[in-house]
Amino acid sequence: APAVAVVVAAGSGSRLGAAVPKALVELDGVTLVRRAVDALAEAGIDEIVVTIPEGMVDAFAEALRGAPARVATVVGGRIRQDSVRRGLAALGAAADAIVLVHDAARSLVPAETVRGVVAAVRAGADCVIPVMPVVDSVRRVTVEGNEIVDRADLRAVQTPQAARLQTLRDAHALVERDGVEVTDDAAVCEYAGLSVTLVPGHRDALKITEPIDLVLAQAILEQRRQ
Ligand code: C5P
């Protein structure tokens, strides 16, 4: 079965403070969305649907022109999961294709991380997500006050997240039917009763969110050139 992807890029990226949608912010002269698409293509993903903000068709077409994969764009929805659902609907691949859902903001994800996620689905996992250890000490805030949470028990979740295409479409339909709001596709899968398998994430797959993240991303690019 082929591996295909939805790249979600329909967010405004207001925390980055740029005049354009975050996915069109440039890192070393190349937009974040293009870098994300190129990273997936390098890992062998051959069909990609990118969810984009309303009214931005031409700007994204320009950013994605000549990409090394079959790329289409669809306008995203109100929240991330609405955008993913629209992206999944626009994919032409077979029901048993492996589908990755990836944040455009995780523009520098290494190909080895992408391949690791795909391999785990091929090996039989329902839903696969890359995770990282949590480096900070963590506390949970409650109505009574706050309490320690053992960070050794915690993982930070990255993308790409993967499942079989029909499995993920069905899970999203269930979440939509029940009006449940989640922040990632693993939560969608879990709501549908599927098990979630963890594989190693990578520091370079950081979600570029705030201006300081662009500085770090720039440093990662420079390190790769050495
Ligand atoms: O807001 P958050 O950082 O969780 O967004 C994660 C990703 O989802 C971003 O790449 C953003 O562009 C995308 N997104 C989307 N449609 C929305 C909201 C967010 O495609 N309605």
Which of 103, 208, 209, 210 has most ligand 1 atoms within 8 Å of its beta carbon, as the pocket-test mutant? 103
Other C-beta atoms within 10 Å of 108: how many?
20
3-state secondary structure of 212: helix
- Tell me the CA–centroid distance for residue 167 and ligand 1, in Å: 21
11 lines ligand 1 (CB under 6 A): yes
Query: What is the rounded CA–CA span in Å between residue 31 and residue 60?
Result: 10
- CA 195 from chain center: how many Å? 19
**Of all protein residues, whose CA lies closest to atom 7 belonging to ligand 1?**
103
Which of 12, 83, 185 has most ligand 1 atoms within 8 Å of its beta carbon, as the pocket-test mutant? 83
Structure tokens at 41: 């293509």
DSSP conformation letters of 26-93: EETTEEHHHHHHHHHHHTT--EEEEEE-TT-HHHHHHHHTT-SSEEEEEE--SSHHHHHHHHHHH--S
Query: What is the rounded CA–CA span in Å between residue 107 and residue 221?
Result: 11
- Tell me the CA–centroid distance for residue 11 and ligand 1, in Å: 4
Report pLDDT for 114. Answer: 98
In this prediction, residues 173-197 reach a mean pLDDT of 98
Q: Which amino acid is at 7?
A: V
Any idea how long the chain is?
226
Report pLDDT for 80. Answer: 97
Report pLDDT for 150. Answer: 97
Q: Which amino acid is at 39?
A: A
Q: How confident is the model at residue 142 (pLDDT cuts 50, 70, 90)?
A: very high
9 lines ligand 1 (CB under 6 A): yes
pLDDT tens for 35-84 read 999 999 999 998 999 999 999 999 999 999 999 999 999 999 999 999 99
pLDDT tens for 2-40 read 999 999 999 988 888 888 999 999 999 999 999 999 999
- Tell me the CA–centroid distance for residue 111 and ligand 1, in Å: 21
End-to-end CA distance of the chain: 36
Q: How confident is the model at residue 175 (pLDDT cuts 50, 70, 90)?
A: very high
Among 43, 80, 50, residue whose Cα is nearest residue 64: 50
77 lines ligand 1 (CB under 6 A): yes
184 CA closest ligand 1 atom index: 4
- The partner residues of 52 in beta bridges, in order of sequence, read 75
Q: Is the pLDDT of residue 125 over 90?
A: yes
- Tell me the CA–centroid distance for residue 24 and ligand 1, in Å: 13
- Tell me the CA–centroid distance for residue 74 and ligand 1, in Å: 14
- Asked if 126 contacts 120 with a C-beta cutoff of 8 angstroms, the reply is no
11 CA closest ligand 1 atom index: 12
| pTM given for the model | 0.97
Q: What percent of the chain has pLDDT over 90?
A: 96
Structure tokens at 82: 């609405």
Q: Which amino acid is at 44?
A: G
- Give the right CATH number for 3-225 from 3.30.300.30, 3.50.50.60, 3.90.550.10, 3.90.1150.10: 3.90.550.10
Q: Which amino acid is at 140?
A: R
pLDDT tens for 90-118 read 999 999 999 999 999 999 999 999 999 99
Query: What is the rounded CA–CA span in Å between residue 7 and residue 105?
Result: 9
- Domain locations in the chain as residue ranges: 3-225
- Asked if 76 contacts 51 with a C-beta cutoff of 8 angstroms, the reply is yes
Report pLDDT for 194. Answer: 98
78 CA closest ligand 1 atom index: 21
